[in-house]
Amino acid sequence: MSNCWVTTTNGEVSVKKIKLPEPRYQSDISLEESLLQRRSVRDYPGEALSLGEVSQLLWAAQGITAQWGGRTAPSAGALYPLEVYVVVGNVQNLAAGVYRYEPEGHELLRIAEGDKRGDLASASLAQACVKEGAIDIVFAAVYQRTTRKYGERGIRYVHMEVGHVAQNVCLQAVAMNLGTVTIGAFNDEKVCRLLNLPQDKRPLYLIPVGGENR
């Protein structure tokens, strides 16, 4: 793992961009078994995730799988309107904070420091699983990337795409013995402020992830 170091205004040096471990492309769990075992899991044992597990989940969501830029989930016109954020609270060797996933380099870019899971839970109608997950993956959309080609129907294509991506994450989590649940109930504006999203990005989906109690 390599890091990009930046100097803050007070002279301190911190990690801003983090290169993630390479994802793996094989496992002992079949796709069929992942489909069979997939459930919504809201209770987590409180164990930390590894950076490799975070890497694998993000690759499943939007990892690049072709030299021309194709990704793990289909996208209308290959326009890729989705942005992936991770609210980190309990990950080994990764400071708590808010990060944006950058598929091109398979990297994390830190955009805020500190554990924001509690704030995100408050923005999500106080759903405890959002606070208790080791991380929360947030999908946001830049609709204009798709609507400028497809017009109003592009909105439908974006919503189809986020469903594909979320299912990828859920099935990958099952293969890793992790628990997930998909969350659609949240205050959009509060989530936008928490993630410091610009006006052209709208949050669509939250997925807490933690170890699964079995």
Pick from 209, 188, 210: nearest CA to 199 = 188
pLDDT at 64 over 90: yes
Quick: pLDDT tens for 199-210. Answer: 999 999 999 999
Q: Rg of the chain's alpha carbons, rounded to an integer?
A: 17
Query: Residue 39's pLDDT is what?
Result: 95
CA 73, CA 56: separation in Å to the nearest integer? Answer: 14
Quick: pLDDT tens for 65-78. Answer: 999 999 999 999 99
CA 196, CA 214: separation in Å to the nearest integer? Answer: 36
Query: Residue 211's pLDDT is what?
Result: 86
Query: Residue 3's pLDDT is what?
Result: 54
What single DSSP character describes residue 207?
Answer: E
Pick from 167, 170, 61, 59: nearest CA to 105 = 59
- Residues 6 or more apart in contact with residue 195 via CB below 8 angstroms: 85, 87, 98, 111, 112, 138, 140, 203
pLDDT at 2 over 70: no
Quick: pLDDT tens for 179-192. Answer: 999 999 999 999 99
Confidence of residue 15 (pLDDT cuts 50, 70, 90): low
Residue range 93-121: average pLDDT? 97
Residue-by-residue DSSP string for 136-198: EEEEEE-THHHHHHHTTHHHHHHHHHHHHHHHHHHHHHHHTTEEE--B--S-HHHHHHHHT--
In 3-state terms, what secondary structure has residue 209?
Answer: strand
pLDDT at 6 over 60: no
Quick: pLDDT tens for 108-161. Answer: 999 999 999 999 999 999 999 999 999 999 999 999 999 999 999 999 999 999
| CATH 3.40.109.10 for domain 3-22+29-211 | yes
pLDDT at 102 over 70: yes
Task: Report the mean per-residue pLDDT for the chain.
Answer: 92
CA 162, CA 151: separation in Å to the nearest integer? Answer: 18
Residue range 19-45: average pLDDT? 94
Residue 183 β-bridge partners:
206
pLDDT at 88 over 90: yes
The domain spans of the chain are: 3-22+29-211
Pick from 93, 99, 95, 127: nearest CA to 112 = 99
